[in-house]
Amino acid sequence: MADGIFSKFERDELNKITAKSILEKLMSIRQSINVEFTARRLVWELMQNAKDNAALCNEDGEKVDIKIQLSGDEFIFSHTKGYFTNEHIRGLIRKYSSGDKERDPELSGQIYKTTGRFGTGFMTTHLLSESVEVESFYKNENEDINFNKFSFWLDRSGKGEKDIINGINNAFDQAEESIKRSQGAVMGKESFRTAFKYPLSAEKMELAEIACEEAEKGIAYTLINVPEISSLNIDLDLSSDTYTISRGKTFEFEGWPFSSYNLVINGKPSTKNFIAVQDEELQIIIPVSLKNGVISVLELDSGVPRIHLDFPLIGTEDLHLPFVINSCLFEPTEPRDGISLMGEENPVSKINGDIMVRAANLYIVFLSYVESKGDWKDLYNLANIRSPKSHSWISSEWYSANVLHPIRNKLLYASLVDAVDGGRISILDDFGDKQVFFPSAGSDNVIDKLWELASQLYPSSVPVKSDVRHWNKVLWKDCRKFTIETLSEEIAEKKTLETLGAAIGFTGKEALVFLNKYYDLLNLEKIHIKEILADSLAVCKTQ
C-alpha cells in the first residue's frame, strides 16, 4: 500500500481530516461556550495525560510528580517520568489517542493502564492558548536507551483548514529538526521532564487562575484515587504549595476495607482528612475532621464533582451526594461532564448503573460503621443527599429507585441523631414510626426559639441545639418536621396551665414562663399568630 498509486494522497487527506476535527473542537472554545467549565476541566485533562504518559513509559508503577506554574504571562504544566515516542508525537499533533487507549468493547470490566478514552481532552487546554510549546524527551526507537531532548510549537491558531494544516506540518518539521539537532544521551527516567507552555493574554489569565483553583480544590481526592501521582506543586506569583497524600490507618468493617487519608501540604499534615471504603476497582470517599481525638463528618464541598473516573468529571457536582465515587470502569460522556445513567436497556448505562448501585451499597456500609462507633459528630452531613438536577445523561426515575431511596432508607433507620437527653436515635423506630421531632421553620431565628420550647417538651426526641439548623436543611418528606403549628397544637391539647406544667415537669410559674416564650415566638414568626388570633387554636390564657 505504501508504494501504491494512492499513497501519495494519504498524507494530504489525513491532514484535511485532522484539520476538520481540530476546527470542530475549537469551535466551542472560540465561541466562549462554557468557558468556566472548560477551564476547570482542562487541568484534569493535563493531569490525566501526565499519568497516562508515565504509565505507558514505565513498567514498574513509577509515580509522577506534577507542577503547575502561573506567573507573568505564562501557564506551564510539567511532569516527571514520561517521554515521547514517535507514536506519541504523531498522536498529539494529529489529535488522536495513542497507547493502550484503544479499548475492546467486548471486554467490559477490564482495567487498563491509561484513563483516557477519546484522545480529545488535550484540545480543552487551547482555551488558554491556541499555540503551545511542547518540551520533552524523544525515545529513539533504534536505540532503546538513547533519548533526545526536543521542543516544538503546536500551533492551532489557524482560522481555516489550510492554516491548521500548515500548523500540523510545521509542528512535525519543528519536532523532527529539534530531535535531529539534539545530541542523544543515555538517560534514566528520573531525568525525564515533559512541559506544556501556554502564553497567556490578559483575558486568559483569569481562566488560568480558575484552573489552578480547581486543582487545589480537588487534588486530595485525585491523590487518593490515582496513587500513580505522587505530588502536585502549584507555583503562583505569591505562593508555592506542594500537595501529597498520606495514608493512615487501614482496617476492615464487616469484611469491607476502610482506609484513612490526610492531605499533606508542604510536608506538614493538614486539617483535611478522608475515609475511603473500597470494593475492587471502586471506592467512595467521605471528608472528615479530627480534633482533640473527636471525629466529625464534614460537608462535601458543593464544587467538588461527585463522580471521578480517576479524575473528576466536571458537571457531576450537582448529583448532591455526600461522598465522592471513583471507578476506572465508568464510561463517561464525550465532554466528560457525566456518565450515562439511563437504565438497564442501554449497555453503557448498565455498566455505569451497576457501579453506582455498588457505590450506594458501600455508603450504606459506611453508615453502619459510623452508627457502630457512637461517638462521631455532625452526622447530619451524612444525610445531605437529594435528587440531582436534570441532565440529558441521567434518568431521575432510575436514580431515585437505585441510589437515592436505598440510601435514604438506611438513613431513616440508622441511629444518627443526637438528642437533647444524650441519646442517639434513628429518624424512624423499628415499627416505621417517626420518633425524631426536627424543629423546622423558614428562618434560623425562629428555628432556635422553636427548638428551645420543643426540647423542653420532648428532650429524648429533639436534636441537640448545635445540630438542629443543619438537620433542617437536609430533611425530606419521610422526616417529621416540628413546626410552630405543631407546637401550638401540642399546647392547645394540654388545655390548662397546670397540665402544660405537668407535661414538661414545671411548676405553674415555670409553665407560665414557657408560655410567654411561646408568645414571643408567635410575635417573632408573625404569620401563625394570625390563625391564633382567629381562635383556630386555644393557646392563650383567655381562651
Distance between CA atoms of 513 and 504, rounded to whole angstroms?
12
> Is the model's pLDDT at 461 over the cut of 80?
yes
With residue 102 as reference, give the H or E element that holds it: none
pLDDT in tens, 149-197: 999 999 999 999 999 999 999 999 999 999 999 887 767 777 789 999 9
| pLDDT given for residue 146 in this prediction | 80
User: Looking at the predicted structure, is the pLDDT value of residue 95 above 90?
Assistant: no
Decide if 16 contacts 23 (C-beta within 8 A): no
What is the rounded distance in angstroms from the CA atom of residue 453 to the CA atom of residue 439?
A: 10
**What span, in angstroms and rounded, lies between the C-alpha atoms of 198 and 215?**
17
Helix (H) or strand (E) holding 147: strand 146-155
pLDDT digits (tens, 9 = 90+) for 335-374: 889 999 998 888 999 999 999 999 999 999 999 999 999 8
**What pLDDT, on a 0 to 100 scale, did the predictor assign at position 1?**
40
Buried b (16+ CB within 10 A) or exposed e, 154-181: bbbebeebeebbebbeebeebbeebbee
If one counts every other C-beta atom within 10 angstroms of the C-beta of residue 126, the result is 21
Distances (CA, A) of 495 to 24, 120, 477, 508, 542: 75, 73, 30, 14, 11
The pLDDT of residue 107 is above 70: no
- DSSP classification of residue 387: P
CA 174, CA 171: separation in Å to the nearest integer?
5
CA–CA separation, 543 vs 538, rounded Å?
A: 5
Per-residue model confidence (pLDDT) at position 314: 96
Condensed to tens digits (0 to 9), the pLDDT of residues 197-213 reads: 999 999 999 999 999 99
Q: In the structure grid, which three cell numbers stand for residue 65, read together?
A: 510528580
- Residue type at 517 in one-letter notation: K
pLDDT in tens, 393-403: 999 999 999 99
Cell numbers standing for residue 91:
498522536
pTM recorded for the entire structure: 0.90
Any residues with CB less than 8 A from the CB of 225 and at least 6 apart, and which?
Answer: 283, 285, 308, 310, 311, 326
Label residue 100 by pLDDT band (50, 70, 90): very low
Query: Could you report the per-residue pLDDT of 483-504, keeping only the tens digit for each?
Result: 988 888 887 776 666 777 777 7
Would the pLDDT of 460 be above 80?
yes
Is pLDDT above 80 for 291? yes
Q: What are phi and psi of 291, to 5 degrees?
A: -130, 125
Residue 246 has a pLDDT of 98
Q: Would you say residue 442 has pLDDT above 60? A: yes
Residue among 92, 72, 74 nearest 83 (CA): 92
pLDDT > 70 in the chain, percent: 88
Kind of pairing between the strands at 294-297 and 64-71: unpaired
Give the closest residue to 133 by CA, choosing from 212, 76, 90: 76
Taking all residues of the chain, what is their mean pLDDT, rounded to a whole number? 89
The pLDDT of residue 201 is: 94
Structure confidence at residue 495 (pLDDT): 64
CA 50 to chain centre: 20
Q: Is the dihedral of CA 180, 182, 186, 190 positive or negative?
A: negative
pLDDT number for residue 149: 92
pLDDT digits (tens, 9 = 90+) for 17-30: 999 999 999 998 99
> Distance between CA atoms of 306 and 363, rounded to whole angstroms?
13
**Which pLDDT does position 30 carry in this prediction?**
93
Question: What is the signed CA dihedral for 130, 95, 84, 171, rounded to 10 degrees?
Answer: -50
Q: How far is C-alpha 182 from the geometric centre of its chain's CA atoms?
A: 43
